[in-house]
Each structure stands twice: as structure tokens, then as C-alpha cells.
Amino acid sequence: MKPYMTMMLVLITSLFTSISVQAQTKLPATAKLVDDNGDKQLYLNVERAASEDDLGGGVTSVWLYNKQQNTTTRILVSNPEAQGAWDRMQNHNAVPVAMNQVAAADNALFIIGDSKIIVEGCPDARNIWSYIIDLNTKKAVQLSSNAGLVGFCGEDETYIVMSSYRYNPDLEVGGRFPVLLVFSTEGSFLKELEVR
């Protein structure tokens, strides 16, 4: 091989090595483990704490660590300026939102194996906003619930049960009451159960 070709090969190899090293993401030392499914782990890291003037919260990032591949990926960074997708929701079905429109991330957990997660947070100091994130497609949907995750049901935990609330239509009685909303893992609304 000619000397200049050898030198070119060394430069190209060096370039690709440096690019691949730069592409790897390092988990922040301040990140906290929030879920572990055996093969993968989810972490939250507070990027900017909420100030006293903030109604909801600060900025939090969600991280995925793959134990088998020894890789770390930042899934998203919450955006306290994001607007809810409530006005686009029809029949309680979840609606797509951009990954940079997840308003808060106070918790995260795996839902089906390791391909989907739920991210929840309280950006308005009142309601809990919940999102399903598909880790394979890097897409998110916002659920129509406003009080957080209750749990999972079904033979393979194929249904998501969320808590929400409704206002009493009888103005003389007033107040609000809790309801349970059941969704598929894609965010399709299946059933509402009143708890009163």
C-alpha cells in the first residue's frame, strides 16, 4: 500500500473513532434511577430546579441505560413552556405530541417490556400530565388523564389505568369526583369508571 493511502486510512479510522466516541452519551452523575426492568434502566436528571416563581416545575431529562449494550441515551428533556394537547383530544383518546413538547417529567417507568415508557409530571402545580413514549419510534402521545397512573391490568398488563377527575354537573352539589380511565398501550381510550 502506498504511504499516502496508509496515512489516509489512519486519518479516516481516527475520524470515525472520534465521531463514534462523541456520539456516545454519558449519564449525568446527578441522575436518579427510577425504574429497572432487568435489561434496561430509566433515570431522571434535574437540569434546572423549579424556582419559587414557577407554577409547576423546572427542567428534567429522561435517560435510558441499556445494560447489555452498555449504552446510555437521553430520551427527552422536559419543556415547562409546552402547551397541553387537551383541545385536540377527542373521545378521551391520546394525541401525538412532539418529544420537545413533554411539559414535565417527575417520574418515568417501563410499560411493555422495554419498548415503551410512561413519563408523568405536574407542570401547572395542579394536574399530572402523562405521556406514553415509544422508545423504538421516538414518538410520544399525551393521555387525557389529569391525576396520574394508577397501574396496569390485563393478562400481560396490556391496559393502562389512569386517575382523573370530573366536576359534578349538579351545581348545587358542586365539587369534583375521581374517575378511572383505561387505555391501550397506544393511548386509545377504552373505558371510564366513576369512583363515587
Q: How confident is the model at residue 107 (pLDDT cuts 50, 70, 90)?
A: very high
pLDDT per position as a tens digit, 43-68: 999 999 887 665 557 899 999 999 99
> What pLDDT sits at residue 82?
94
Higher pLDDT, 180 or 55: 180
Q: Containing H/E element for 64?
A: strand 59-66
DSSP string, 126-170: S-BEEEEEETTTTEEEE-S-SB-EEEEESTTS-EEEEEEEEE-S-
> What pLDDT sits at residue 47?
95
Using the predicted structure, report yes or no on whether residue 33 has a pLDDT greater than 60. Answer: yes
Q: What is the mean pLDDT of the chain?
A: 85
- Please state whether the predicted TM-score (pTM) of the whole model is above 0.75: yes
The class level of CATH for 27-194 reads: mainly beta
Highest mean pLDDT among 14-23, 84-93, 108-117, 134-143: 134-143
Domain spans, the chain: 27-194
Q: How confident is the model at residue 7 (pLDDT cuts 50, 70, 90)?
A: very low
Tell me, what DSSP letter sits at residue 27? P
pLDDT per position as a tens digit, 126-172: 899 999 999 999 999 999 999 999 999 887 778 999 999 988 877 77
Q: What does the angle CA 64 – CA 66 – CA 67 come to, to the nearest 5 degrees?
A: 135
Strand ranges across the sheet with 116-121: 95-97, 139-142, 129-134, 116-121, 107-110
> What pLDDT sits at residue 168?
81
